[in-house]
Every structure is written in structure tokens, then in C-alpha cells.
Amino acid sequence: MKGKLVFALAAAALAAVSPARAATCKKDSDCASGQVCTAGACKAAAAAAPAPAAAPAPAPAPATGGAINTGRVAWGGLGFYDLGITVSTGLAPPYPTSVSGSSNNFGLNAGAAVNIAQLTPDVPLAVWGNVGIAFASGGSFFPLTAGAAVRYDKLPVQLLGGLGFTIMPSTASGASTPVGLAIQGIGFYPLPQVDPHLSADLQIAYHILSDSYWLFTFTVGVGWAF
């Protein structure tokens, strides 16, 4: 009798000092009120592990150089216009059969380019146009050009290069109106510290024209994304 009493007291003491084993569960409804099912065991709702916080949305990538890139850009500038011509002398060898000459002139220009299609993820196709005026002795001339180009905007300097068709009327008396091929390249250096739309512009073009004319232009100015 004494042995049974000692065993009962020991079991009661052990139960008093031993933590209660959590009931097993598969869902919250298997647990008592105020408990939730966590990892197969019922636990107090306050002890349930918080749901992981949603990852923040990635910040949008900044435009090249901090500038706004709309796929449309206009420019204007001033610079150097070298107009040349090659004429036949009418002489036979060994004498020169032709002679070339050129005149260096000051000029102004304005133009624009607009993206129209995506050739690759980083290289769009654009159409462009440029209007120039050069102040030459004897009369001004006006190179007017339109064409297609590709752009690349992933460098600190945004690039545009392409081909076009040029027609060049002149105010000079009796002058012809040559036409021909234009090869043009432009670099835009963004100036976001001034305005996100603004860039410095450098333009080089070479025109191979009819009537034995050619034209080389080098201008600097500003560009504006619109």
C-alpha cells in the first residue's frame, strides 16, 4: 500500500515539473481555442511565426547618365561647313584632267530624330532630318537632309549614326542644286545637372553630291529630349 502511494506521489510531482507536450495537428481547427497549428503542433497564436515580409519592388533603373530618354531628340548648333568642288580642266594627260577646291564657311543647323522600331533591345531604328545654312561668299547654301539611323544610348555619350539623302539649293547666281548621299554621326552628352532633357551635341557629316560637289560639316550645339 505504501509503495502505491509513493509511486502516485512521484508521478504527480513529475507531471507538475514536466512541460505539457503540445498536441499534434494538421490544421488550426485541430487545436484548442487561442492556438494555431504550426509545424504539426498546436501553439499559442502569439507564438506563431510571423509571415515573411514581401520583398520590396526593385527601383526603376535610371536613364543613361541621369538624363530623360524619350526616343525623340531635337538639336541645334553652329560650326564649320567646308564646301568643295572638282572641275574638269579639259586637258589631256600628262596635264591634270581635273582640279579641286573648297571654301570654309560658318554655318548653323537644326534637326531632330525619332525612334520608330526596335532592332535589338538596346538598338532602336530612328528617322532623322537636318536643316543647315552656310554663309558663303557669293551666296548662302542650304543642305537639307533626311534619312534613317540607329541609336545607342547605353554609354555615357548617346550615339546616333546613319545615312540620308541631301539636296542643297543655293542663293548664288547661276548655281546648280546638287543632290546626293549624306553620312552623319551625332554624339549627345547628357547634362542632367542643368536639366534632364538637355545634352551637349557634336555632329559630323559628309555629303557626296552631284555636279562634282562635296560637303563636310562639323558643328557643336545642344540637344533636347522631347
pLDDT digits (tens), the chain, 226 positions: 555 554 555 455 444 444 444 567 888 788 877 788 887 888 887 644 555 666 665 544 444 445 788 999 999 999 999 999 987 776 767 766 667 888 999 999 999 999 999 999 999 999 999 999 999 998 999 999 999 999 998 899 999 999 999 999 999 888 899 999 999 999 999 999 999 999 999 999 999 999 999 999 999 999 999 9
Same domain, 76 and 41: no
| pLDDT at residue number 66 | 59
In this prediction the pTM is 0.67
Same domain, 182 and 148: yes
| pLDDT at residue number 35 | 82
Residues 6+ apart with CB under 8 A from 92: none
| pLDDT at residue number 118 | 95
Same domain, 81 and 175: yes
Residue 221 belongs to a domain: yes
Residue 115 belongs to a domain: yes
Same domain, 39 and 102: no
Spatial separation of the C-alpha atoms in residues 150 and 159, rounded to whole Å: 8
Same domain, 28 and 90: no
Q: How many domains does the chain have?
A: 2
Residue 59 belongs to a domain: no
Same domain, 39 and 74: no
Residue 63 belongs to a domain: no
Residue 177 belongs to a domain: yes
Domain that holds residue 40: 23-47
Same domain, 43 and 116: no
Same domain, 75 and 43: no
| pLDDT at residue number 13 | 47
Strands 98-120 and 179-190: unpaired
How crowded is residue 31: how many other Cβ atoms within 10 Å of its Cβ? 21
Residue 10 belongs to a domain: no
Same domain, 114 and 167: yes
